[in-house]
Amino acid sequence: MAAPKKSVVKEAEQEKGSEAPLEFTKEQELAALRDMLLIRRFEEKAGQLYGMGAIGGFCHLYIGQEAVVVGMQMALKKGDQVITGYRDHGHMLACGMDAKGVMAELTGRRGGYSKGKGGSMHIFSKAENFYGGHGIVGAQVSLGTGLAFANHYRSNDSVSVTYFGDGAANQGQVYESFNMAELWKLPVVYVIENNRYAMGTSVTRSSAQTDFSKRGVSFNIPGEQVDGMDVRAVKAAGDNAIAWCRAGKGPYILEMQTYRYRGHSMSDPAKYRTREEVEKVRHDQDPIEQVRNRLLAAKVGEDELKAIDAHAREIVNAAADFAQHDPEPETSELYTDVYR
Ligand SMILES: Cc1ncc(C[n+]2csc(CCOP(=O)(O)OP(=O)(O)O)c2C)c(N)n1
Ligand SMILES: [Mg+2]
């Protein structure tokens, strides 16, 4: 394949600088730990509530992938939009949405962000610039590109951060979106969360090109592979990609190499991978343990770290309590918020 004459991909490569993840200050490490622990404890509780029958329908947990949304969020500023698929609880919490409102949506209660009518996969908050929560694999990619088009049209400097999975990356509308985004230089960061599986299918069984950072090459969209288990690497890559977009240079692709510990959804028998594979990632790469170990090495006391965890559990317990006691929506709600 001949290289493009003027390669924006090369230009982006040159701007990237050092490959080593930027060091965090102690405050950044603590903030990242707080946010990742909140997501993990929230997801553990959601799993428990699902097992008790308090949550119905679909529910996809984000455990293992926490560093991706937390690192990206650290690179954003107010006004930037976030959109993702159905594995969305972590994205909402990272955006600053209230754990109570998210959990109450999972249990189908009035106080949920979608008034209990959307469930786990369909949650939105215009106030926090979170645009869902989408159950159709890949659909959010066109919508996220549309958000970027709106930013461009309005000449603001906001960036759309559009998350999707390795499986979704094989959908046709992704490439129609890539074409338009580069053609019109739209400010969108495509974050491909490569957690190695789409339901029970590994990337090597489903994808002809498993280096997802290259998926934009024929459109001249630069991309890079990122250690999505290291929150510092995510933040550094996010800073670089967001700066590219804000400078009016068009879209950017970040392939986050990550891993989900739990099944695809709550009804996944997980026969497509070994227990050892999961345990190895947990043991060697866990995003939360990495930060904890760095903080301990920097002489932050075990007590302080335990207090952060206790606080996350408190928030989650209060959310679970609210989500089980808040009333269900009135029957009349069946007729509101729907197109007829
Ligand atoms: C258009 C469409 N096709 C198929 C499905 C069924 N489906 C739901 S999730 C999924 C796998 C997607 O995997 P990936 O994009 O890697 O995301 P992950 O679940 O790993 O986060 C499939 C095929 C769907 N929801 N929508
Ligand atoms: Mg996947």
The CATH number that applies at residue 313 is 3.40.50.970
Q: What is the mean pLDDT of residues 223-247?
A: 98
The predicted pLDDT at position 226 comes to: 98
325 is a domain residue: no
pLDDT score of 4 more than 50:
no
Low-confidence winner among 3-7, 33-37, 197-201 (lowest mean pLDDT): 3-7
26-38 pLDDT per residue, tens: 999 999 999 999 9
Is residue 300 scored above 90 in pLDDT?
yes
Residue 247 CA, ligand 1 centroid: distance in Å:
33
For residue 30, the enclosing domain spans 23-320
Q: How many domains does the chain have?
A: 1
pLDDT digits (tens, 9 = 90+) for 96-126: 999 999 999 999 999 999 999 999 999 999 9
Please indicate, yes or no, if residue 331 is contained in any of the structural domains: no
Q: What is the pLDDT of residue 3?
A: 43
Nearest to 222 by CA among 173, 193, 182, 168: 182
Q: From the CA of 163, how far away is ligand 1's center (Å)?
A: 13
Is 334 contained in some domain? no
Which pTM value belongs to this model?
0.95
Ligand 1 geometric centre to CA of 214 (Å): 21
Does residue 238 form part of some domain?
A: yes
- Ligand 1 neighbour 137 (Cβ under 6 A): yes
Query: Domain for residue 35, yes or no?
Result: yes
- Residue 166 Cα to ligand 1 midpoint, Å, equals 9
Verify whether ligand 1 is closer than 6 Å to residue 61 (CB atom): no
In a domain, 13, yes or no: no
How confident is the model at residue 339, as a pLDDT?
A: 83
Note whether residue 4 is domain-resident: no
Q: Is the CB of 35 under 6 A from ligand 1?
A: no
pLDDT over 80 at 143, yes or no: yes
Ligand 1 pocket mutation, candidates 65, 87, 137, 257, criterion most atoms within 8 A of CB: 137
Question: Any idea what DSSP says for residue 112?
Answer: S
Q: Residues 239-264: pLDDT tens digits?
A: 999 999 999 999 999 999 999 999 99
Residue 158 lies in a domain: yes
